[in-house]
């Protein structure tokens, strides 16, 4: 039985009906007041995961448990990167980027990042989820549970949790498994999806992926350049 994704539950609370598959998640957090990874432009965190055989998946959202994060002063940069086979460093190829959510206070909370374009996960392929900040002087925390909760879902957690204090040039092993949920839908025909709000009001995804984000699908093969999103 599929679990509801964190982003789907948040949207349901707002009164919309939405369904997405949990690709990988260790929500809900427990006892996460003292376990954290402070991130900045130089301090970065990465964790690995692998997709199973089967269909490709389009990521519809990633939810992170953050504290001390306020926008626009803090710029959160979330990426999915390739996995070259190394267990000691994420790959350098960025597979997908995400639009950081707004935040007006520093309280711990669940922050939903939307893909800035189509982010497709291929079957039998491994990836890294990476988080850092755009400025070395502005830091925030990516919280984790204690004891650590191993993520589960369609994908498999890779067992590698890494931390860098050198802007990603070198990495060390971390015992913290930070709290996150990667949610998505099986890939299909894609097109432009107009979102109701946000810095990026148009993304390329499937019809189901657009519905999962609460957007208006513009049709298979449509582009953001011609969608005329409000």
Span 86-132, pLDDT tens digits: 999 999 999 999 999 999 899 999 999 999 988 999 999 999 999 99
In a domain, 177, yes or no: yes
- Give 52-86 pLDDT, tens digit per residue: 998 889 999 999 999 999 988 899 999 999 999 99
In a domain, 113, yes or no: yes
In a domain, 77, yes or no: yes
Domain that holds residue 120: 6-187
In a domain, 39, yes or no: yes
Whole-prediction pTM: 0.78
Nearest to 99 by CA among 137, 59, 40: 59
In a domain, 198, yes or no: no
Give the up-direction half-sphere exposure of residue 175: CA atoms within 13 A in the CB hemisphere. Answer: 3
CA distance 32 to 42: 23
In a domain, 194, yes or no: no
* Structural domains counted in the chain: 1
């Amino acid at each position: 039985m599929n679990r509801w994704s964190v982003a789907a539950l948040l949207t349901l609370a707002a009164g919309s009906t939405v369904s997405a598959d949990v690709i990988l998640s260790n929500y809900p957090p427990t006892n996460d007041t003292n376990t954290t990874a402070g991130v900045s432009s130089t301090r970065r965190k990465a964790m690995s995961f692998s997709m199973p055989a089967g269909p490709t998946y389009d990521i519809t959202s990633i939810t992170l448990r953050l504290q001390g994060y306020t926008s626009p002063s803090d710029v959160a940069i979330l990426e999915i990167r390739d996995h070259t086979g190394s267990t000691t460093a994420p790959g350098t190829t960025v597979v997908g980027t995400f639009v950081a959510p707004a935040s007006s206070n520093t309280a711990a909370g669940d922050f939903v990042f939307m893909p800035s374009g189509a982010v497709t996960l291929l079957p039998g392929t491994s990836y890294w989820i990476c988080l850092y900040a755009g400025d070395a002087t502005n830091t925030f925390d990516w919280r984790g549970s204690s004891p650590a909760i191993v993520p589960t879902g369609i994908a498999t957690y890779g067992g590698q949790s890494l931390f860098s204090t050198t802007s990603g040039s070198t990495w060390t092993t971390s015992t913290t498994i930070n709290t996150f949920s990667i949610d998505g839908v099986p890939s299909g025909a894609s097109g432009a999806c107009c979102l109701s709000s946000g810095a990026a009001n148009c993304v390329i995804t499937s019809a189901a992926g657009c519905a999962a984000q609460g957007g208006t699908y513009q049709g298979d093969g449509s582009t953001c350049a011609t969608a005329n999103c409000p």
